[in-house]
C-alpha cells in the first residue's frame, strides 16, 4: 500500500527534436512515482489518495491508467499541479500549486481508506505531500503506529515535521536524503561519519533500518547495527529528479516480496541509479534494475 495523500497533475513541455514541442500530462507527486516504480518491479500495489476540484478529476482519470489499484477519496479542496518547461535542457518551473490543505472530513475518510488497505498489505509506504502544510504531521505518526502495531512493515520517505512524526510512530525502514538531514539539523555536514551518526540517531528515535541517499556520492545504510557505504552504479544523468523515490520503491518491493534488507538496499540503489537515465519519474525496466543491483557494492562505513 502506498499512501500518496495529495497527488498532483504534472504538465511538462519538452522539445527532443526539431519537429516541435511535446506536451506530457501525467499524475505525479512522490507517492505516485513510488507506486509506479513498485508496480514496474512486479509488486501488486494499492495507492490511496485524496483528489478534489477540476484538477482532481483529471488526476483521478489519469491514475486509472496506471498498473495498480487506486483508491481515491473525493476532497473538498482542489488538487495540486505544476507546469515545467524542459525545452532548454533544464527543468524550469513555469507555475505550481501544492494543493489546498486537507480538511478534517477529508482526513478522516482518507485515513480510514488508507488503514483498510494497509492492514491487508505486507508493506505500507508513507510518502510526503508537495508542501508540508497540506497534510498534518500527526497523520504520519498515527498511520505508522496503527499499521506497525498490526504486523505490517512500514516504510517512510519523509522530511521535516513529517519525518519526526513518523519516527514517533515507529517505522520499519526509513529512507531520507542527506539534504533533508542537513536542513532538519540531524547532521552538521554530509561526511561519512556525520551521516552514520545521524542514521544511528534516527534509529534511536524509532527507525529500525535507515538508508541515506547522497546524490552522486555513496549512500549510507544502517542495517542491523551495520553501517555501510552503498556504492551506486555510475550512469549518465538525464534528470536527477525521482532517483530517491525510485530508491525507496525498490526497497519496498523487495521487502514486500520477502527479501532481506541487503537485497532491498541493492535493488533500491539500482532503481535510483537507473531512474536518472530517463525523463519519466518513477520509471525503469525491471531487467535493467535487476542487472544493476548485482553491481551495487557494500563497504564498511567509517564511524
What are the tens digits of pLDDT across the range 56-111? 999 999 999 999 999 999 999 999 999 999 998 788 999 999 999 999 999 999 99
Q: What is the domain extent for residue 39? A: 2-300
CA distance 9 to 103: 20
Give me the chain's average pLDDT, please. Answer: 92
CA distance 61 to 288: 30
Q: pTM of this prediction? A: 0.92
At 152, list the grid cell: 505490517
Q: Which residues pair with 51 in a beta bridge?
A: 74
Average pLDDT over residues 255-262: 96
Of 27, 139, 12, 143, residue with least CA distance to 79: 27
Average pLDDT over residues 18-38: 93
Q: Are 196 and 301 in contact (CB under 8 A)?
A: yes
Q: In this structure, is the dihedral angle defined by the CA atoms of residues 185, 186, 188 and 190, taken in order, positive or negative?
A: negative
**pLDDT tens digits along 100-157:** 999 999 999 999 999 999 999 999 999 999 999 999 999 999 999 999 999 899 999 9
* Grid-cell match 536527477, residue found: 240
Of 240, 276, 232, 271, residue with least CA distance to 254: 271
Average pLDDT over residues 9-22: 90
DSSP letter assigned to residue 79: P
Q: Are 173 and 207 in contact (CB under 8 A)?
A: yes
* Grid-cell match 564498511, residue found: 300
CA distance 193 to 290: 30
Number of domains composing the chain: 1
Instruction: Give residue 250's Cα distance to chain centre.
Output: 10
CA distance 40 to 253: 10
CA distance 136 to 74: 18
Q: With 0-12 CB in 10 A as exposed, 13-18 as middle and 19+ as buried, what is 40?
A: buried
CA distance 261 to 226: 11
CATH number of domain containing 14: 3.40.1190.20
The pLDDT confidence band at residue 276, using thresholds 50, 70 and 90, is low
CA distance 10 to 97: 11
Lowest mean pLDDT among 45-49, 264-268, 270-274: 270-274
Asked if pLDDT for residue 175 goes beyond 70, the answer is yes
Q: Are 39 and 45 in contact (CB under 8 A)?
A: yes
Amino acid at each position: 500500500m502506498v499512501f500518496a495523500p495529495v497527488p498532483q497533475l504534472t504538465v511538462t513541455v519538452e522539445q527532443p527534436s526539431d519537429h516541435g514541442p511535446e506536451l506530457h500530462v501525467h499524475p505525479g507527486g512522490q507517492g505516485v512515482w513510488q507506486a509506479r516504480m513498485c508496480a514496474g518491479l512486479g509488486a501488486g500495489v494499492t495507492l490511496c489518495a485524496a483528489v478534489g476540484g477540476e484538477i482532481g478529476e483529471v488526476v483521478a482519470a489519469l491514475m486509472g491508467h496506471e498498473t495498480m489499484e487506486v483508491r481515491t477519496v473525493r476532497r473538498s479542496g482542489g488538487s495540486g499541479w505544476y507546469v515545467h518547461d524542459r525545452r532548454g535542457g533544464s527543468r524550469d518551473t513555469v507555475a505550481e500549486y501544492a494543493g489546498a490543505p486537507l480538511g478534517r472530513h477529508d482526513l478522516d475518510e482518507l485515513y480510514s481508506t488508507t488503514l483498510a488497505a494497509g492492514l491487508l498489505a505486507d508493506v505500507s509506504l508513507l510518502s510526503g505531500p508537495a508542501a508540508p502544510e497540506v497534510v498534518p504531521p500527526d497523520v504520519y505518526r498515527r498511520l505508522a503506529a496503527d499499521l506497525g502495531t498490526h504486523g505490517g512493515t512500514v516504510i517512510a520517505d519523509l522530511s521535516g515535521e513529517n519525518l519526526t512524526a513518523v519516527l514517533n510512530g515507529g517505522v520499519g525502514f526509513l529512507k531520507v536524503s542527506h539534504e533533508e538531514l542537513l536542513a532538519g539539523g540531524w547532521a552538521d555536514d554530509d561526511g561519512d561519519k556525520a551521516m552514520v551518526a545521524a542514521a544511528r540517531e534516527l534509529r534511536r528515535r524509532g527507525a529500525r533500518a535507515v538508508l541515506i541517499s547522497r546524490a552522486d556520492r555513496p549512500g549510507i545504510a544502517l542495517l542491523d547495527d551495520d553501517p555501510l557505504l552503498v556504492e551506486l552504479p555510475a550512469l549518465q544523468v538525464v534528470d536527477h529528479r525521482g532517483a530517491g523515490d525510485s530508491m525507496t520503491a525498490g526497497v519496498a518491493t523487495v521487502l514486500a516480496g520477502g527479501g532481506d534488507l541487503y537485497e532491498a538496499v541493492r535493488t533500491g540503489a539500482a532503481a535510483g541509479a537507473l531512474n536518472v537515465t530517463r525523463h519519466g519519474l518513477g520509471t525503469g525496466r525491471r531487467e535493467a534494475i535487476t542487472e544493476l543491483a548485482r553491481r551495487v557494492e557494500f563497504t564498511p562505513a567509517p564511524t
